[in-house]
Amino acid sequence: MTMRCTEETLSLRDGALLYCRTWKPDIQGRSSASSAGRLLLVHGLGEHSGRYDALARRWVEQGWEVFAWDHRGHGLSSGKRGVLTSEDQLLSDMVELLEAREWGESATRTVLLGHSLGGLLVARFFAEALRVPDSSIGRLAERFHSAVLSSPALQIRLNRLERFLIRTLGVIHPTFTVSNGLRPDWICSRPDVVEAYRRDARVHSRICGNLARFMLSSARIVQEMERKWEKPTLCLYSTIDRCVDPAGTSRFCRSVPAGVVQAHASDRLRHEVLNEGDFEVEQQLMRFLVG
């Protein structure tokens, strides 16, 4: 199957620019509703949507259209690396982007897929829809058929020093950045993926107080709403993950109502389960998407 990849920049109300990519099947004479569906991909901390090019192309071969954007302060989007000027900025950016589109308003099956920080952001989005169903987020959430959470950051590992810094420096100077402490060899067991990550000039290791507090508060809000969860969700994660604490995903999968969440946990793979080239993970994902 041939495909088209297009790039664009979305201007937000505050003047920030989000860099966006779309991969889609090049289906001559057929509407987009003829495709298998649409995947909205939300990337993780310090990375960018371009790292998902190979995955997106494989999904396009299965008939899916894929859309992704670089978070502000990431990739080719505007903003200082790792900086949010307000705590919930990633969520408000996502809502503004979704409001600017008509995804989910046609017969096309539309799925939100988030990895790591992106998985937490997707979970926070649906948790907010449960908290305030009459809000703009509540209305937007209804457009989506389901969600996929890849190694979501539903529980954050912090030592005493890190917690102290968030409570002090993170409040006094919330846009000051420090290293996120993640090591490239933690992300994947494939040396080629790790080496490409190391060499990628668009990958960064910075995080500010606002972003750290967003992650902590979002994890708490998701946990509060777990027992009310309604959106069909697939969780793909590693029980030996060193980038995020997999205990948060395990708890989430146990806590949500029966039948709402499917889970695939591996004790072999590392953080980027979708980049491991694992047949079981790929099959589980495709079965969920078409189910």
CB 140 within 8 A of CB 99: yes
Helix/strand/coil for 166: helix
**Alpha carbon distance 181, 178 (integer Å):** 9
Per-residue pLDDT band for 105 (boundaries 50, 70, 90) equals low
Q: CA nearest 154: which of 113, 111, 119?
A: 119
Q: Is 104 a residue whose pLDDT tops 70?
A: no
Angle at the Cα of 29 from the Cα atoms of 27 and 32, rounded to 5 degrees: 55
For residues 90 and 116, is the Cβ–Cβ distance under 8 A? no
Predicted pLDDT at 170:
72
Would the pLDDT of 281 be above 60?
yes
Identity of the amino acid at 125: F
CA 73-79-82 angle, to 5 degrees, is 35
Please write the tens of the pLDDT for every residue from 151-194. 999 998 877 767 777 777 777 889 999 899 899 999 999 999 99
Break the chain into its structural domains and give their ranges. Answer: 3-290
Residue 28 has pLDDT above 80, yes or no: no
> Higher pLDDT residue, 178 or 274?
274
Question: What average pLDDT does this structure show over 134-146?
Answer: 95
Run of H or E residues at 147? strand 146-150
Taking every pair of Cα atoms in the chain, the longest distance, rounded to a whole number of angstroms, is 59
pTM of the predicted protein model: 0.95
Q: What's the pLDDT at 106? A: 58
In this prediction, residue 103 has a pLDDT band, given cuts at 50, 70 and 90, of: low
User: Where do we find the tokens 């100077």?
Assistant: 173
**Per-residue pLDDT reduced to its tens digit, 228-239:** 999 999 999 999
Helix (H, G, I), strand (E, B) or coil at 14: coil
C-alpha dist (Å) from residue 146 to 1, 111, 143, 233:
25, 5, 9, 6
**Mean of the pLDDT values across residues 97-109?**
77
* % pLDDT > 70, the chain: 94
pLDDT of residue 31: 46
Q: Quick one: 3-290 is in which CATH superfamily?
A: Alpha/Beta hydrolase fold, catalytic domain (3.40.50.1820)
Residue found under tokens 């505007």: 78
Q: Are strands 177-179 and 206-208 parallel, antiparallel or unpaired?
A: antiparallel
179 token code pair = 């290293």
13-27: average pLDDT: 93
What is the spatial distance between Cα 190 and Cα 193, in angstroms, rounded to a whole number? 5
